[in-house]
Structure 1
Amino acid sequence: MNPKLVILDRDGVINRDSDAYVKSLEEFQPYPWAIEAIARLCRHGWRVAVATNQSGIARGYFDRATLEAMHRRLNALVQAAGGHIEHIAVCPHGPDDGCACRKPLPGLLTEIRHSLDLPSLAGSWMVGDSLRDIEAGRAAGCRVALVRSGKGTRTLETHAEVLADVPVHDDLAAFVEALLNSDSPLAR
């Protein structure tokens, strides 16, 4: 069964990323093409969810209320474009906290599967800009794709061998175009 689900990483895929973390509502700058791409997926019967590591919370750079404000803004922009994000799964932990949710572990994707009441994630997509996104997607049984936006180009250069079989797209809009165009293979 294909659940027609696309799971997205947030920073670098949906919004501008920052090596200094996206710490405030002012720093949270969604890409206009990403908002439209999410809405386009929804108009074509795809469900959309987000799986995002947010270790800035554990590091004390911002709090949950700030993160929730960013996600309220994201949801409002997507809804205004005619789409809907069904679930946003967040790992607030740091890299050394030993949690089960931080990507590359599949915990966030498992949370999404349970939240959407799906028997599995087989046939769904995980789209990210980092190796950890791809590893989490593979561990959860998803098909995976990398975007060059955010840290994607750097990821591709650093991990080319590991990503040799992963479809690569310039950004989320290009991924969605390939996914929705049956004549266009999801390929490099």
Structure 2
Amino acid sequence: MKAADEARAVLFDRDGTLVEDVPYNGNPELVAPVPGAAAALDLLRDNGIRLGIVSNQSGVGRGLLTDEDVHRVHERVARLLGPFDDIRYCPHLPEDGCGCRKPAPGMLLAACAALGVRPASVVVIGDIGADVGAATAAGATPILVPTPVTRREEVAAAPILAPDLVTAAELAVELLVGVRT
């Protein structure tokens, strides 16, 4: 996938992927990592892979959250699982038609630019089809980790599936570094 001296990264969806999904969560105390999140992140860091979070947060556009709420939740995620090299989110509603809301590639491309990595040297790990779509549109490699909210057609369409976050991290290391863990 990449040359040995080139930077590489994994971008994670936040809710349902790294932390338990609490709809429109603005309360940092409700942040709980999914099983295996810390081990998955440690594996990636141990292999020199940069880490980022890319998250749709339409609760801001709906008036249910403030930007400050989102930042406080991200700070809690970073305290529990960090450090992360880049964290970004889209505050827009689905109907706003912005270029940053997944499945559009804008947020991922901005993260790649901030991290100094080519999209071809990036794996995106998420739990729904919008994560896969954004990765594909950006030129990154998607890995889907299905959860109870993942639709069957999203699972069927995903090019790479992992049963859990640790397995997804192992696949990412193999893809990005060429090392089987």
Cα gap change, 1:87 to 1:183, in 2 (>3 Å) = closer
1:101 aligns with 2:100: yes
Structure 1 match to 2:15: 11
SS for the counterpart of 1:122 is helix
Structure 2 match to 1:75: 78
Tell me if the contact between 1:122 and 1:142 (Cα under 8 Å) persists in the aligned partners: yes
Amino acid at match of 1:127: I
Report how many residues are paired.
Answer: 173
Q: Deviations over 1:107-128 (max 9, x none)?
A: 111110121123x211310111
Structure 1 match to 2:51: 48
The structure whose residues are more often helix, as a share, is 2
What does residue range 131-146 of structure 1 map to in structure 2 within 5 Å?
131-146=129-144
Please state how far the C-alpha of 1:144 moved relative to its aligned partner. Answer: 1.0
Matched residues in 2 for 1:35 and 1:61: separation? 29
What does residue range 1-188 of structure 1 map to in structure 2 within 5 Å?
1=2, 3-18=7-22, 20-79=23-82, 84-118=83-117, 120-149=118-147, 151=149, 154-155=150-151, 157-163=152-158, 166-180=159-173, 182-183=179-180
Tell me if the contact between 2:10 and 2:172 (Cα under 8 Å) persists in the aligned partners: no
Cα gap change, 1:94 to 1:68, in 2 (>3 Å) = same
Matched residues in 1 for 2:63 and 2:128: separation? 23
Misfit runs of 4+, over 3 Å: 178-184
Tell me if the contact between 2:170 and 2:180 (Cα under 8 Å) persists in the aligned partners: no
Identity among equivalent pairs (%):
31
Tell me if the contact between 2:155 and 2:161 (Cα under 8 Å) persists in the aligned partners: no
Gaps of at least 5 residues in structure 2 are: none
Amino acid at match of 1:7: L
TM-score of the superposed pair, with normalisation by structure 1: 0.83
TM-score of the superposed pair, with normalisation by structure 2: 0.86
Matched residues in 2 for 1:67 and 1:140: separation? 24
